[in-house]
Structure 1
Amino acid sequence: MRRIMLTSTLLILVAVVLVPFYWMVVGATHSTAEVFDSPPPLLPGSHLLDNLAGLESGVGFSRVVLNSVLISTLYTLLSGLVCTMAGYGFAKYSFRGKELLFGLLMLGLVIPSQVTLVPLFKMMMELGWLNTYQAIILPNLALPFGIFLMRQSMSALPDELLAAGRVDGCGELRLFFRVVLPPTRPALAALGIYLFLYQWNDFVWPLIALRTRDAYTIPLAIASLQGANDTDFGQILAGTAVAALPMAILFLALQRHFVSGLLAGAVKE
């Protein structure tokens, strides 16, 4: 009886989570008038291609998707490298003021990002980087959560493994890439998913830094579809479904590594 109750509860929770996503996909195949029918449509319609064509003609959606993919991929690679190296430094190197510096870094987790928008905007303006990819990618490369995650993961690596690599003649960079990174693949996968999702869904900073439609990312393009008097909700749902699809595929492909990566370093023997 307890197993039946547990299974039933989980099925209800899964339905609560998945039904909005299902309706989003169904709504993407309907026109705005059909979306607001009462009762709402529960089966796919025939307007998906029309909605996608409207997105392309209205905001250049293919260019927008390319912008988001390029920015999120570059950010994930660069930020992943920075966070991994910083986490390795905090985990395995001893230097004066390490704990103080790490504590100051962790304060970044409790400072709202909105506090830094004005000085960051002035900095990008003085550098001439507004409306460019580097204005979106570079400011948040050293993400405190990413550094913390990799530090916790690499703290579990035995020091004897690193000592053996140095005895065999590994330089520090070779030791990092050949000895340190392979055992931390689960944590790297978790970090990669988090960084990609963070950049893929970012809205506030790109809204401030990007000026032209050619540079827009998906969240900005979808927001621009909401007019004061006329809003095509069929197109908005189609764009939202396209935006959600890559993240769903990425998480399903790497979910095993994501869970084990978040647990890495949680228990020490």
Structure 2
Amino acid sequence: MRAVAVVRRAALYVVMVALALVFLIPMIWLVSTSLKSQGQVFAYPPVWIPDPLQWGNYVEAMSRAPLLVWLANTVMIAVLALAGTLMSSSLVAFGFARLRFPGRRVLFILLLSTMMLPDVVTLVPQFVLFRSIGWVDTFLPLIVPSFLGGGAFNIFLVRQFYLTIPRDFDEAARLDGASNLRIWWHIILPLSRPVLVAVGIFSFVYHWNDFLLPLIYLQSEGNKTLALGLRAFISPTDASWNISMAASMFLVIPVLIVFFVAQRQFIRGVVMTGIQGR
């Protein structure tokens, strides 16, 4: 029986490694192409290991477009939106999970129902609103909404995690005279690091890769984000895919770094969410 278990585990690992390699092929091709010469991009059979490595492709990409400016814009938008999402979604989730008030369940159902509403339905009303207050071609439409709730999915995720925290902590804190805000800040938040990391990664990746909203609201060249600015490398008359892939690495690498640094907390937060519900 032990031998059978070892064989099954070995077969499972082989399948997982094979699937991982299949999923990694686009990423490997991206990195490889970013270091190729123009002649190696369309070579057949495909060249997987460039020889020699063309590190100058990254310099060429930065000379063709203000990639560092776009990178700074993207970082600022993603970080500020991340902070707003964590603060607002955790606060709203605290109200739904730990407080008792009339209509709580009805409001929570209404909140969840907004997840069935496509984002494109609200694009025109939002644009009219932000244009009327002069926010077009600024970062405010991409940042401020994150401070006004943080999104129904994020609220739901955090609320489900809060339900797993014993209420004895709340009651003990109230006996010591703590207010609801103090309980949220000093007790609930420190215990919620896994789910907050998960929500933070979701928020960061969404705002980092967002293309539609920057396309609608950002017009100046100096205000563009990376996802929007990379369109400058797409041209029907220029097939410099090695330069385009080098520019794309500026968009991909930060997301990979964030995920690998926080992957343990991310997986823990997703797994523990929903263990207990009320």
TM-score scaled to structure 2, two decimals? Answer: 0.91
The one of 46, 51, 60 aligned to 1:40: 46
SS in 2 for 1:42: coil
In the alignment, structure 1 residue 26 sits paired with structure 2 residue 43: no
Aligned to 1:203: 211
- Runs of 4+ aligned structure 1 residues displaced above 4 Å come to 45-48
Give the Cα–Cα distance (whole angstroms) in 1 for the partners of residues 174 and 217 of structure 2. Answer: 45
SS in 2 for 1:237: helix
Name the CA shift for 1:209/1:137 in 2 (closer, same or farther; >3 Å).
Answer: same
Asked if 2 retains the 8 angstrom alpha-carbon contact of 1:48 and 1:238, the reply is no
Give the Cα–Cα distance (whole angstroms) in 1 for the partners of residues 143 and 60 of structure 2. Answer: 29
Letter of the 1:241 partner, please give it.
M
Give the Cα–Cα distance (whole angstroms) in 1 for the partners of residues 275 and 171 of structure 2. Answer: 23
Asked if 1 retains the 8 angstrom alpha-carbon contact of 2:41 and 2:47, the reply is yes
Give the Cα–Cα distance (whole angstroms) in 1 for the partners of residues 87 and 267 of structure 2. Answer: 20
Residue by residue, what CA displacement relative to the aligned partner does 1:62-91 show, whole Å, maximum 9, x if unpaired?
Answer: 001111111100100111100000111110
SS in 1 for 2:44: coil
Aligned to 1:193: 201
Aligned to 2:176: 168
Cα deviation, residue 265, structure 1: 3.7
| Aligned-pair identity (%) | 31
Asked if 1 retains the 8 angstrom alpha-carbon contact of 2:160 and 2:276, the reply is no
Give the Cα–Cα distance (whole angstroms) in 2 for the partners of residues 228 and 129 of structure 1. Answer: 33
Asked if 1 retains the 8 angstrom alpha-carbon contact of 2:34 and 2:246, the reply is yes
Give the Cα–Cα distance (whole angstroms) in 2 for the partners of residues 115 and 268 of structure 1. Answer: 34
1:248-267 equivalence runs, <5 A: 248-267=256-275
Aligned to 1:58: 64
Give the Cα–Cα distance (whole angstroms) in 1 for the partners of residues 94 and 225 of structure 2. Answer: 32
The one of 120, 133, 140 aligned to 2:139: 133
Aligned to 2:165: 157
Asked if 2 retains the 8 angstrom alpha-carbon contact of 1:54 and 1:235, the reply is yes
TM-score scaled to structure 1, two decimals? Answer: 0.94
Structure 1: gaps spanning 5 or more residues: none
Asked if 2 retains the 8 angstrom alpha-carbon contact of 1:64 and 1:217, the reply is yes
Aligned to 2:124: 118
In the alignment, structure 1 residue 223 sits paired with structure 2 residue 223: no
Give the Cα–Cα distance (whole angstroms) in 2 for the partners of residues 70 and 26 of structure 1. Answer: 29
Aligned residues: 269
Name the CA shift for 1:203/1:187 in 2 (closer, same or farther; >3 Å).
Answer: same
Letter of the 1:212 partner, please give it.
S
Asked if 1 retains the 8 angstrom alpha-carbon contact of 2:195 and 2:273, the reply is no
Letter of the 1:206 partner, please give it.
P
Give the Cα–Cα distance (whole angstroms) in 2 for the partners of residues 98 and 236 of structure 1. Answer: 50
Asked if 2 retains the 8 angstrom alpha-carbon contact of 1:186 and 1:258, the reply is yes
SS in 1 for 2:87: helix
Structure 2: gaps spanning 5 or more residues: 1-6
